[in-house]
């Protein structure tokens, strides 16, 4: 048996580099940074600088609307954290995001399971898929307008409930301090579940059928297969989606602003609307910045869990 060996190629020297490569070591080292520099510059200008400016504003007083700002230390933070409106907004936001995330998950999973079932025909599933995804196709402004009309005291929702005999008098869904938070949470759930549904459906379709067959051989019923096969397989997606949803929902502004404006009586005030009012109504950009930094820190806690979960995957 004979073998042919190729002549050993000489290692390129500084003078004998591969065509197309610069000869200088320094230049070669700089090239990756050169490619990266536009992105780095954009991130710096569009993200790092504004964040640093906001943090800087939060430690000063009379910012933006006054020519000479002064250093105020933690005074803005103290002011914000001792403001009952901020604490109410914090509580409302916690309720709003946690209920929304749980409902998004439950509804999204339920509809995803329905669309993944073998019991329905392809055409039926396609129709359901279109219907279920509809809320996600509307912009938030349209959603706010539609639901303001539907939830009006003389709107369709009250009409239907009254016709069915479920209510005696019209309910003031968005204008009643006791109901407004739940009404906007419901609207947010309605508008957000399709994203969960689509993501979970994709994850469901990626679960190997072998696992279900093996479980069936072991004599498990549908619920046991769901509990011991489906859920563990979906777990990484569920955790990622839930954490992302908590972050996104905590920043929901347009829906609240366009439906209740934070009212009535601050019962739907969120951290986002509180910050906006501080800045653009009271022109207190320093306290608005402090509130924004607090929101940033809270969100970073969630982001930390998200990144850790992604690393584990």
Q: Which residue has the tokens 């759930």?
A: 189
Is residue 286 within 8 Å of 76, Cβ to Cβ?
A: yes
Name the residue nearer to another protein (CB basis): 66 or 124. 66
Which window, 72-80, 119-127, 218-226, 255-263, contacts another protein (CB under 8 A)?
255-263
Is residue 26 within 8 Å of 244, Cβ to Cβ?
A: no
Distance CA 293, CA 184 (A): 25
Name the residue nearer to another protein (CB basis): 74 or 283. 283
Name the residue nearer to another protein (CB basis): 83 or 176. 176
Decide: helix, strand or coil at residue 137. helix
Give me the residues paired with residue 71 across strands: 60
Which window, 132-140, 236-244, 253-261, 295-303, contacts another protein (CB under 8 A)?
253-261
Told to check if 82 binds another protein by CB under 8 A, we report: no
* Residues 167-226, interacting with another protein (CB under 8 A): 170, 172, 174-177, 180
Q: What minimum distance in Å lies between the beta carbon of 49 and another protein? A: 8
Length of the chain measured in residues: 313
| Count of helices and strands (H, E) across the chain | 14, 2
CA distances (Å), origin 170, targets 154, 161, 260: 7, 9, 18
Told to check if 301 binds another protein by CB under 8 A, we report: no
Is residue 298 within 8 Å of 91, Cβ to Cβ?
A: no
Which window, 71-79, 109-117, 147-155, 300-308, contacts another protein (CB under 8 A)?
147-155
Residues that bind another protein (CB under 8 A): 17, 19-23, 27, 31, 34-35, 37-38, 41-42, 45-46, 49, 64-67, 148, 152-154, 170, 172, 174-177, 180, 257-266, 273, 277, 280-283, 285
């Amino acid at each position: 048996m004979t073998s042919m060996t190729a002549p050993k190629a000489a290692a390129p020297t500084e003078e004998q580099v591969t065509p197309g490569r610069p000869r200088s070591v320094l230049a070669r080292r700089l090239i990756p940074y050169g490619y990266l520099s536009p992105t780095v510059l954009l991130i710096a200008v569009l993200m790092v600088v504004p964040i640093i400016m906001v943090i800087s504003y939060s430690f000063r007083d009379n910012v933006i609307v006054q020519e000479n700002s002064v250093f105020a230390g933690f005074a803005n933070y103290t002011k914000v954290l001792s403001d009952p409106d901020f604490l109410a907004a914090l509580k409302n936001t916690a309720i709003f995001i946690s209920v929304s995330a749980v409902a998004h998950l439950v509804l999204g999973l339920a509809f995803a399971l329905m669309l993944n079932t073998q019991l329905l025909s392809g055409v039926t599933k396609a129709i359901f898929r279109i219907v279920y995804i509809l809320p996600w196709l509307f912009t938030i402004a349209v959603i706010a307008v539609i639901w303001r009309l539907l939830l009006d005291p003389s709107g369709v929702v009250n009409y239907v409930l009254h016709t069915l005999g479920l209510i005696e008098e019209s309910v003031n869904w968005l204008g009643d301090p006791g109901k407004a938070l739940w009404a906007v949470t419901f609207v947010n759930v309605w508008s957000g579940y399709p994203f969960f549904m689509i993501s979970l459906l994709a994850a469901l379709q990626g679960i190997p059928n072998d696992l279900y067959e093996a479980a069936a051989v072991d004599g498990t019923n549908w619920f046991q297969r769901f509990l011991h096969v489906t859920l563990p397989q979906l777990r990484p997606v569920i955790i990622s989606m839930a954490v992302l949803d908590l972050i996104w929902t905590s920043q929901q502004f347009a829906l609240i602003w366009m439906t209740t404006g934070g009212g009535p009586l601050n019962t739907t005030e969120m951290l986002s609307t509180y910050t906006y009012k501080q800045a653009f109504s009271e022109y207190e950009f320093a306290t608005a910045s402090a509130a924004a930094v607090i929101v940033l820190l809270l969100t970073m806690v969630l982001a930390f869990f998200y990144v850790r979960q992604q690393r584990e995957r």
